[in-house]
A and B are shown apart, each in its own frame.
Chain A
Amino acid sequence: MSDNQGPVWEIFLQKKAGQPFVHCGSLHAFDKEMALQNARDLYTRRNEGVSIWAVPSNAIVASSPEDIGPFFEPANDKVYRHPTFYQIPDAIGHM
């Protein structure tokens, strides 16, 4: 069945100035302006945000659940990327 509700958009909200944008949900809208207005009405009725990003869902590229292993595992064996890997002499104290 054809969808005459308009395409799906993913909505991201910034809670306060300076904070990152966080995904809060999705909605249907026919154009950019309507996507923003709908997002305002749907996701910010109680001051949930000060800024909105609306992104067409089909523009989002996502990793696959099956790829968790090969995709993210290499991060685990590179402990030298964390500061706790290194020893600082007591005489130096905090660094």
Chain B
Amino acid sequence: MEVNKFEDVFEGKLAKNEMVEPKDWMPDNYRKHLIRQISQHAHSEIVGMLPEGNWITRAPSLRSKVVLLAKVQDEGGHGLYLYTAAETLGISRDELLDNLHTGKAKYSSIFNYPTLTWADIGAVGWLVDGAAIMNQVMLQRTSYGPYARAMVRICKEESFHQRQGFEIMTRLAFGTEDQKAMAQDALNRWWYPTMMMFGPPDAESPNSENAMKWRIKRETNDQLRQRFVDQTVPQVQYLGLTVPDANLKWNEAKKGYDFSEPNWVEFKNVISGNGPCNKERLAARNKAHNDGAWVREAAQAFAKKRNEIYVAA
């Protein structure tokens, strides 16, 4: 077949809403776009373990500790599902990790903000995981099969994460005055960074057009952001807290809220490495990877000794 024919088959699949599988022909830019997006997603899951891991030893009860442990373990698992999905596109795990550790690959800007109080763990679960779920529900129908299948598994596991976050917020918001103030403070600090998670406005999003054309994404950044605000505001009201946005107002005509855009200059700064915790996060990942080197070496030596090593395909 000529390249044109291959392209027709590929376009035909997209038009019929069929999934593209690893052995199918795909345009180079589609492959590159997916590697970038899936690996960024995987890195976000792995780096996302750090701000929450920060509170495992200081969780206020045994119950909240086991819950947080289970959640952080899930995030690690999600990272692994996504790494293997990216690997089906012809990039090795070592390359993927190397791109993260050298700062060549990005991860979600949200994880460069610090978790200062226990209420932040509530806000992260409720808002950050809530926003992630909104994006991931859409991605269950993404055009690349292995990515879509990883997303189905992830979405199943993710909904407990948001609920546990909301439970923490509920306890604080209906607790003492100090606890309620702590919940409000966390909401104030996480609201705008969470809004940034959906990416820049559609008009300024360099990758959106291709992502929509190839059905990698099915909804735009602005559509998802609007849905997130509409869904979250009633939850804020239930908690008796206030969204830190003086411009937030119900718009009857569009049946949605009008709201302020996050500070996109800050967003650009954070993704280019100058957020509050970028250096700390990367240093922690590098340290964990380097400290684990002897484990990989020992496992490899042991497998060789027992003559059980299988050469990677």
Contact = CB atoms under 8 A, between A and B. Distances in A.
Q: How large is the interface on B (under 10, 10 to 19, 20 to 34, 35 or more residues)?
A: 35 or more
B311 A58 contact: yes
Interface string B194-206: 0000000000000
A30 B92 contact: no
B73 A45 contact: yes
Contacts of B265: none
Interface string A34-45: 100000011001
Interface in A70-89: none
Interface residues of A, number: 29
Quick one: which of A31, A56, A64, A65 has the most chain B CB within 10 A?
A31
B310 A56 contact: yes
A2 interface: yes
B94 A65 contact: no
B245 interface: no
A11 B141 CA distance: 22
Contacts of B74: 45
B84 A27 contact: yes
A34 B150 contact: no
B288 interface: no
A45 B77 contact: yes
A19 interface: no
Given A3-B93, A31-B308, A62 B23 contact: yes
Contact of A7 (B70, B81, B313): B313
A31 B303 contact: yes
7 contacts: A7-B313, A25-B150, A28-B84, A30-B309, A41-B77, A42-B77, A57-B313
Given A5-B93, A7-B309, A31-B306, 15 more contacts: A1-B98, A3-B94, A5-B92, A5-B296, A6-B303, A8-B312, A8-B313, A30-B299, A31-B303, A32-B308, A45-B73, A45-B77, A45-B157, A57-B312, A65-B23
Contacts of B24: 65
Interface string B294-308: 001101101100101
B87 interface: yes
Interface of B: 1, 21, 23-25, 70, 73-74, 77, 80-81, 84, 87, 92-95, 98, 149-150, 153, 157, 296-297, 299-300, 302-303, 306, 308-313
A25 B92 contact: no
Interface of A: 1-8, 24-28, 30-32, 34, 41-42, 45-46, 56-59, 62, 64-66
Contact of A58 (B80, B84, B92, B313): B313
B80 A3 contact: no
A57 to B, nearest CB: 5
A42 to B, nearest CB: 5
Nearest to B313: A58
Contacts of A31: 299, 302-303, 306, 308-309
B157 A46 contact: yes
